[in-house]
Amino acid sequence: MPPVIFHVDMDAFFASVEQHDSPEYAGKPVIVGARPGHRGVVSTCSYEARAFGVRSAMPINEAARLCPQGIFLPVRMERYQDISNEVFSVLGDFTPQVDRVSIDEAFLDMSGTERLFGPPEDAGRALKKKIRESTGLTVSVGAGANRFIAKLASARSKPDGLIVVPSGGEESFMDALPLGKLWGAGEKTQERFRELNIRSVKELRGYDEGLLQRLFGQAMGGFLYMACRGLDCGMGRDEAPTSRSISTERTFEYDVIDQDSLEAVLLESAQELMFRLFTMGMQAMTVAIKLRYADFRTVSARKTQERAISSSDELYRHAVELFRKKRESGQAIRLLGLSVSGLEEGMETQGELFDTAKDSRLERAIFGLKKKSGSTMKKARNLRSGLDLNP
């Protein structure tokens, strides 16, 4: 018996929540994302907005031009998270094997549930009905023998759809899929397809694995070989989804030149990341900065430390060091980011330097209070900087 995998995907999730919460927006072009007139992009838009050519990740000002009558709304992540939790609680009624891949998307292993819910078509319909009843929202469901096929099937069925790809029907399903819709083959790979005059999934299947790997690289070649046959290429099999890195970055409303202002941003970022590490019970070995110049050139620098970083001051010092070394002097900066990786369990403070350990203990005490109160406590030094670069 082949496995039965569902991919469940909310339709235009953020925009649909807004339309459901404010019925006067129903049937109208709703665009959730940055404020028009500012730097930023569309996060999600309703199908009514898509009719105007508006798309996710499009600059918000372009969306405003395409759809001046659009209803532009800010992202209310907490609200979407609440609704998402409701949806996932419904999913849990269908199988204990729910793998949440994002706020609005999940894989369900429905193998062996036929006795309870009937064939995949019936189970899919029941699931959609229950989600609509409990949240008022529509989802699209794809079902197949593996995650890759299920994912493509749900995408094909949008909005409010249900497609079941029968076991053995993978290749014919893939043949009906435009090459441009192949999940995992983005802009650059599509460009490569055009250069090689590969126009369909079927044509792709004419290439043997070794050739694909020479043309597209080891990993991508292997992926494509499996993908055009509708075979699972190991999508998210990883059991424990432990975080490998965390990061924060900011695009400024206006490009910034002043070094002190930029370093103040690094301090805030360091404090944010340290707090997140603390709440995760993790520590980090590697620090990386990312900067994007006004001309959009993007560079990064990183350094792995000899021992785990134990306080935000320490993280800040490493960040500033990397930043000063990497930055081309005088160049205006559009984006500044900080990330930590090489994450491991525990918030050990075995630092040989007494001061470091003391810093860390103090900070952990502060974080503990902050976590409990939810307040936004800031160090005096940070308040003094008084910068609001992106109001």
Q: Which residues are catalytic?
A: 105
Out of 133, 187, 239, 388, the only residue in the binding site for DNA (CB under 7 A) is 187
**146 lies in the binding site for DNA (CB under 7 A):** no
56 interacts with DNA by CB under 7 A? yes
String of b and e for 129-168 (b: at least 16 CB within 10 Å)?
A: ebbeeebebbbbbbbbbbbbbbbbbbbbbbeebbbbbeee
Bridge partners (DSSP) listed for residue 249? 337
Binding letters toward DNA, positions 309-338, x by CB under 7 A? -------------------------xx-x-
Q: Which is nearer to DNA, 214 or 384 (CB)?
A: 214
Cis peptide before 36 (omega within 30 of 0): no
Minimum distance, C-beta of residue 322 to DNA, in the bound complex (Å): 7
40 binds DNA (CB under 7 A): yes
Q: How far is the CB of 253 from DNA (least distance, A)?
A: 10
Backbone angles phi, psi at 101, to 5 degrees: -100, -20
* Interface pick for DNA out of 231, 301, 347, 357 (rule CB under 7 A): 301
Among 220, 265, 267, 309, binds DNA (CB under 7 A): 220
Is 304 one of the binding residues for DNA (CB under 7 A)?
yes
Taking the C-alpha atoms of residue 157 and residue 163, their distance in angstroms, rounded to an integer, is 6
Phi, psi of 278 (to 5 degrees): -60, -45
**Which of residues 78, 133, 238, 239 is near DNA by CB under 7 A?**
238
Name residue 109's beta-bridge partners. Answer: 5
Residues making up the chain, counted from first to last? 391
Per CB under 7 A, the list member of 50, 62, 169, 275 interacting with DNA is: 62
Closest CA to 15 of 88, 65, 67: 67
First-last CA distance in the chain: 57
Report if residue 186 touches DNA, rule: CB under 7 A: yes
If one asks whether residue 300 binds DNA (CB under 7 A), the answer comes out as: yes
- Contact flag: residue 279 with DNA (CB under 7 A): no
Nearer to DNA, 125 or 302 (CB): 302
For position 142 contacting DNA by CB under 7 A, the verdict is no
Rule CB under 7 A: which of 90-129 touch DNA?
A: 101-105
How far is residue 326 CA from its own chain's centroid? 27
- Give yes or no for a contact between 159 and 47, defined as CB atoms under 8 angstroms apart: yes
Q: What angle do CA 362, 368, 370 make, to 5 degrees?
A: 105
Give, in order, the Cα–Cα distances in Å from 383 to each of 44, 388, 389.
Answer: 34, 11, 14
**Residue 247 or 382: which CB sits closer to DNA?**
247
Query: Is residue 34 a contact point for DNA (CB under 7 A)?
Result: yes
Distance in Å, CB of 118 to DNA, minimum: 28
Our finding on whether 188 is near DNA (CB under 7 A) is yes
* CA-closest candidate to residue 10, choices 222, 183, 18: 18
# of chain residues touching DNA (CB under 7 A) = 58
Which CB sits closer to DNA, 167 or 247? 247
* Residue 43 interacts with DNA (CB under 7 A): yes or no: yes
Instruction: Determine, following the binding rule CB under 7 A, whether residue 296 of this chain makes contact with DNA.
Output: yes
Identify the residue among 77, 116, 299, 365 touching DNA (CB under 7 A).
299
Residue 122 Cβ vs DNA, minimum distance, rounded to whole Å: 26
User: How would you label 33-58 residue by residue, b for 16+ Cβ within 10 Å and e otherwise?
Assistant: bbebeebbbbbbbbbbbbebebebeb
Q: Is 218 in the site for DNA (CB under 7 A)?
A: yes
Main-chain phi, psi angles of 252, to 5 degrees:
-80, 150
Q: Which stretch binds DNA (CB under 7 A): 46-54, 80-88, 239-247, 352-360?
A: 239-247
* β-strands 5-10, 139-144 pairing: antiparallel
Binding site for DNA (CB under 7 A): 34, 39-41, 43, 56-57, 59, 61-62, 65, 101-105, 151, 183-190, 217-220, 238, 243-251, 276, 285-286, 288, 295-296, 298-304, 334-335, 337, 339, 341-342
